[in-house]
Homo-oligomer: A and B are copies of this chain.
Amino acid sequence: MLSDVQSRKPEANFKLTRVGVKGIKKPVCIKRKEKVVNLIANIELFVDLPPTRKGSDLSRNAEIIEEIVDSSVRQPSKSLEDLCEKIVEEMLLRHEYASKAEARINSDYFLERCTPGGKKSLEPYKIMAVAIKGRGEAAKKFIGVEVIGMTVCPCAMENIKAKYGEIYSHNQRNVASVFIENDGSIDADEIISIIEKSMSTPTFEILKRGDEMEVVRKAHENPKFVEDVVRDILKEIVSRYKNLPDSTVVIARSESFESIHKHNAFAERITTIGELRK
């Protein structure tokens, strides 16, 4: 009979906010709109720990993940956040001492896009999902997406135009993200589209000369600060999701790898849909 050292009383009897595992990688499948999507998930699982228990039995987390991976192949969840929900439900069953469980998964993700000239290109994104569940409560679910696009500086453009009569400016790679509480009515693909429309232009992995020109042209007709990207994302979210409850948490971010500087420009709003509707 092996000792259960984790179940002992600790010397310093404080409860802990999160105890668990980080950096677990597993292939998982989800089923989006009749299409099975293969992801390589980076997984973090945590429970809270009462002051009366020395340790959390971390191998239970690893077992849950292993079973979920298997079942995700046989019977895929319809989203990454539903997969997270299944996991936190299972965690509360097996960590009987915990009052709360949290699952965080992120993965590379791909969608087909069409360049201005009509060429198809498979574009890379990041998706993230989180589920947090208190014992006896419904799980709260969140989704996140990260999108790479391009911004053109409105300030340099306007001043250069005034002084030199030309419309060039500095432009650069921009990484924007949205993290939003999801009651089930939001689709990650839609949020990705909203972000792409909020940049000076989305970018593409394949651009032949004619296409490149049109992308650059579109961007220069649509200059944006990092601040503009965040606000335009928020505006579109408020306008599109009229049924989301006021309490819905939303975080929008935009970070530009400034071409004229060695550092980045950054803008962020952390709020609720209710605040944005005021």
Could you tell me which A residues sit within 8 Å of B by CB distance? 2-6, 10-27, 38, 40, 44, 46, 49, 54-56, 58-59, 62-63, 65-66, 69, 108, 110, 120-124, 148, 150, 153-156, 158-160, 162-164, 166-173, 203-210, 212-213, 215-217, 219-220, 225-228, 230-232, 234-235, 255, 257-271, 276
Q: How far, in whole Å, are A216 and B172 apart by their CA atoms in the complex?
A: 12
Query: Given A24-B205, A172-B173, A206-B63 in contact, is the A54-B213 Cβ separation under 8 Å?
Result: no
Query: Given A108-B40, A216-B156, A227-B49 in contact, is the A205-B261 Cβ separation under 8 Å?
Result: yes
* Contact indicator A110/B160 (Cβ below 8 Å): no
4 smallest CB-CB distances across A and B, nearest first, come from A12-B231, A168-B168, A12-B235, A38-B38
Tell which of B22, B120, B217, B276 touches A160, judged by Cβ atoms closer than 8 Å: B217
Q: How far, in whole Å, are A7 and B208 apart by their CA atoms in the complex?
A: 15
Name the prevailing secondary structure of the A interface residues: mixed
* Contact indicator A271/B17 (Cβ below 8 Å): yes
Which residue in chain B gives the minimum CB-CB distance to A58? B265
Tell which of B27, B58, B166, B227 touches A54, judged by Cβ atoms closer than 8 Å: B227
